[in-house]
Amino acid sequence: MKRKVTLKQIARELDVSISTVSKALRNSKEISEDTREKVQAFAKLYNYRPNNIALSLKNRKTKTIGIIIPEIVHHFFSKVIRGIELVANKRGYNVIVGLSNESFSKEVINMEMLANGSIDGFILSISKETLLQQDYHHFTETISQGMPIVMFDRVVNEVLCDKVIVDDLKGSKKAVNTLIEKGCKTIAIITTKDYVSVGKLRTQGYLEALNENDIKALGSLILKVDDKLVSEDHLDVLEKDIETLFESNKDIDGIFAVNELYAITAMKVARKLGLNIPEDVQVIGFTDGVLSKHATPSLTTVSQHAQQMGEQSAELLINNLEIEEDEDYYQTVVIETEIIERESTK
Amino acid sequence: MKRKVTLKQIARELDVSISTVSKALRNSKEISEDTREKVQAFAKLYNYRPNNIALSLKNRKTKTIGIIIPEIVHHFFSKVIRGIELVANKRGYNVIVGLSNESFSKEVINMEMLANGSIDGFILSISKETLLQQDYHHFTETISQGMPIVMFDRVVNEVLCDKVIVDDLKGSKKAVNTLIEKGCKTIAIITTKDYVSVGKLRTQGYLEALNENDIKALGSLILKVDDKLVSEDHLDVLEKDIETLFESNKDIDGIFAVNELYAITAMKVARKLGLNIPEDVQVIGFTDGVLSKHATPSLTTVSQHAQQMGEQSAELLINNLEIEEDEDYYQTVVIETEIIERESTK
DNA sequence: TTGTACGCGTTATCAA
DNA sequence: TTGATAACGCGTACAA
């Protein structure tokens, strides 16, 4: 077992000083061609690689980005990570991942662990519990210590930093308008409780779209699911709720769901009730994931371009990190949504 | 913007030496209660946290695990990560993720970046290209430098290290036996080319199960999909192939697919051809993911317990890291599979 | 009870 | 052309 070789060892072996070795390896003109070659040959032989940790300590830069997301077993978030990783690697950065599991305390702990020197900056999406408690001190403190944050998707006005979001309002208006164009008269929405910022915005888009088309919004057509708990039997409750929705509104001919799971479940329930898709009921979901693509019938969705969000976030963060003068100028990048038409609409 | 505070700064402020501060913070008996309290109060006020990088350099331990996986937008892999992260955090470790994107060179580069001090050990699943080229020098070199590796799922005999695998052979036998018990007479398999170790093993399990039940295996019932390229239009080819499979074997009444995408696609094609599931054709897929669960009909699967694999891998690696004498004893943990019966079988 | 010195691996500066 | 020294931030053995 040959341990990793260090400058010191090379220096000892070749009977020169550490700094000579260091310079020789970096092709410094100061060193004679003779020793340079000798050192480089030796280094190559022993496969010398500078120790990242030592470099980080010296440069006060880790070249590592910390990602904090609520959940990784989730198509949207994993796609964002892929985007971040792509850009990060291209620009010489690594990516370290922390999961909050939608919990406030895990979010705080994870951030504290990483903020103590392990990373240069954060890219994160806020946990539901944090959104609910509206306690953002860990974000503001991190920023005030000089560590930049980029938030994506689940963001919050109270924290000043770069943000990458989808135009949820516009996106859901697009979706509802599409349903209306395709002939829907009675459109229901399956959404989340309002504390989830994106859920709230998407509900608002639904209402505005109806309003602009002179369709009266009915409270009975709005189903707000409480998904505080990401539990297994949560699904049963969801199905029951949707069933009730259909049964108390027999004339529903369009469904807009704020995520693909809700949409898929709605289709399932509809089918169970003898309704055909898209003939009797048309369905559109927000978030384009695997479920939508491979469902039968496949689901028409509002694509968020998750990977692009990740890429943008990484670009923003790294630009911020590598710019000398850190001006207090924060930008919010809005990623355009796109309707992907599949079989669940006519 | 208050920069992160260091021992040195605290020492200067309080007019004591750095080591006094260090000791005081670690509650050393050497320090008088007086100064101890003074230092601790000050540290608390300025929210002092030791710098991880400095600690890593000093202790020659990073308390960080490197994960290299072929793809993150994948239910199985993200579940494994969740398992790793869970155990890692519980035991005081962080997790840094590198994606090989199924490419040999990206796998090598990623490992080299992380191996130079950034992490204490690897947990990885081998990329397809690496499996195809059968070039494992980067693994063996890493190990010979004293950095432990735990491989999961896609492993290889040529590399000596801890491994966590699913009993693919037994799992697929279970699946095929289930189909036989449920009355299937003509069972086809949709699998990968043989260089994917798990694909090969699952095919083998299929053959053995047939053999043990005195059913003759027919070459025409074995569809080996070439999924070297994870491309979008790959799906079309897949559908075509499956369609051909059905049409040239009209009596197929059972399908065993080595992953859920193949299974779902098979169901889709079957339905298109007017076949009912599970009445005409029963389907079982390997790998239990979201697609299986939310498909219509929902898919009977062989669950690999991905999260458990991640947890086991992390336990194995951390145990290895924290044990003093590193004996050259490697173990392979086999995670039992489990048939999860849903609607795609009778 | 407190402080000094050293080392982890590296690079930059300055002296020889 | 080469080498010694300091510094990044920390902990600890040893000296005062």
Each residue's pLDDT tens digit, A182-202:
999 999 999 999 888 889 999
Considering only residues A2 and B185, tell me which one the structure prediction assigns the higher pLDDT: B185
The CATH code of domain A60-165+307-334 reads 3.40.50.2300
B8 touches chain A (CB under 8 A): no
* Distance between start and end Cα atoms, chain A: 65
Task: Render pLDDT for B50-62 as a digit per residue (tens, 0 to 9).
Answer: 999 999 999 999 9
Average model confidence (pLDDT) for chain A?
93
Confidence at residue B232, expressed as pLDDT on a 0 to 100 scale: 58
Give the closest residue to A55 by CA, choosing from A112, A120, A146, A114.
A120
Q: Is the CB of B61 under 7 A from strand D?
A: no
- pTM for this prediction: 0.93
Q: What residues does CATH 1.10.260 cover in chain A? A: 7-50
Give A11-58 pLDDT, tens digit per residue. Answer: 999 999 999 999 999 999 889 999 999 999 999 999 999 999 999 999
Is the N-terminal amide bond of A70 cis, ω within 30° of 0? no
A161-198 burial, b if ≥16 CB within 10 A, otherwise e? bbbbbbbbbbbbbbbbbbbbebebeebbbbbbeeebbb
Which of B8, B45, B141, B290 is the best residue to mutate to test the A interface, defined by the most A CB atoms within 10 Å of its own CB? B290
Q: What digits encode the pLDDT tens for the residues B133-169?
A: 999 999 999 999 999 999 999 999 999 999 999 999 9
Closest CA to C9 C1' — which residue?
Answer: A54
The kind and range of the H/E element at B19 are: helix B18-25
**pLDDT band at residue A235 using 50, 70 and 90 as cut-offs:** confident
User: Would the CB atoms of B2 and A264 count as touching at under 8 Å?
Assistant: no
Q: Please, where in chain A does CATH 3.40.50.2300 lie?
A: 60-165+307-334, 168-304
Q: For A52, which of B47, B82, B117 is closest by C-beta distance?
A: B117
pLDDT attached to residue B230: 47
CA A120 to CA A131: how far, in whole Å?
25
B64 neighbourhood in chain A, CB within 8 Å: 96, 118
**Which among A16, A32, A33, A26 has a CA at the least distance from the CA of A48?**
A26
Q: Give yes or no for a contact between B65 and B123, defined as CB atoms under 8 angstroms apart.
A: yes
Q: Are A300 and A294 in contact (CB under 8 A)?
A: no
Question: Encoding tokens for residue A203?
Answer: 């509900």
Chain B within 8 Å of A232 (Cβ-Cβ)?
no
**Residue that has been written with the tokens 């044990």 in this structure:** B323
* Element (DSSP H or E) covering residue B208: helix B197-212
Helix orientation angle between B52-59 and A52-59, rounded to the nearest 10 degrees: 140
b/e for A271-302, b at 16 or more Cβ within 10 A? beeeeebbeebbbbbbbbbbbbbbbbbbbbbb
Task: Give the Cα separation of B236 and A162 in Å (integer).
Answer: 40
Instruction: Answer yes or no: do B294 and A296 touch at CB < 8 A.
Output: no
Residue B231's pLDDT band (boundaries 50, 70, 90)? low
Are B128 and B196 a contacting pair, CB within 8 Å?
yes
pLDDT at site B276: 95
Protein residue nearest nucleotide C2, by CA to C1': B20
pLDDT of B162-201, one tens digit each? 999 999 999 999 999 999 999 999 999 999 998 888 899 9
Query: Nearest CB to B145: which of A4, A50, A118?
Result: A4
Level-2 CATH architecture, domain A7-50? Orthogonal Bundle (1.10)
Give CA–CA dist B67/B95, Å, rounded: 7
Question: Do B78 and A78 count as a contact with CB atoms less than 8 A apart?
Answer: yes
Give dist(CA B67, CA A67) in Å, integer: 15
A288 pLDDT tier (thresholds 50, 70, 90)? confident
Give the pLDDT of residue B327.
67
Question: B255 — phi, psi (to 5°)?
Answer: -130, 130
Percent of chain B with pLDDT over 70: 97
The per-residue pLDDT for B20 is 94
Instruction: Give the nucleotide with minimal C1' distance to the Cα of A22.
Output: C11
**Using CA atoms, how far apart are residues A96 and A65, in angstroms rounded to an integer?**
6
Q: How confident is the model at residue A228 (pLDDT cuts 50, 70, 90)?
A: low
Q: What is the pLDDT of residue A233?
A: 66
Distance CA A281, CA A275 (A): 7
Protein-proximal nucleotides of chain D (any atom < 7 Å from a CB): 1-5, 7-14
- Give burial (CB, 10 Å; 0-12/13-18/19+) of A115: buried
Q: How far is A326 from chain B (nearest CA, A)?
A: 11
Summarize pLDDT for B328-339 with one digit per residue, the tens.
789 999 999 999
The full 3-state SS of chain A, as one line of letters, equals CCCCCCHHHHHHHHCCCHHHHHHHHCCCCCCCHHHHHHHHHHHHHCCCCCCHHHHHHHHCCCCEEEEEECCCCCHHHHHHHHHHHHHHHHCCCEEEEEECCCCHHHHHHHHHHHHCCCCCEEEECCCHHHHHHCCCHHHHHHHHCCCCEEEECCCCCCCCCEEEEECHHHHHHHHHHHHHHCCCCCEEEEEECCCCHHHHHHHHHHHHHHHHCCCCCCHHHEEEECCCCCCCCHHHHHHHHHHHHHHHCCCCCEEEECCHHHHHHHHHHHHHCCCCCCCCCEEEEECCCHHHHHCCCCCEEEECCHHHHHHHHHHHHHHHHHCCCCCCCCCEEEECCEEECCCCCC
Q: What is the pLDDT of residue B226?
A: 80
Q: Are A211 and A172 within 8 A, CB to CB?
A: no
Query: Which helix (H) or strand (E) is B105 found in, with range?
Result: helix B104-115
Superfamily the domain B168-304 falls into: Response regulator (3.40.50.2300)
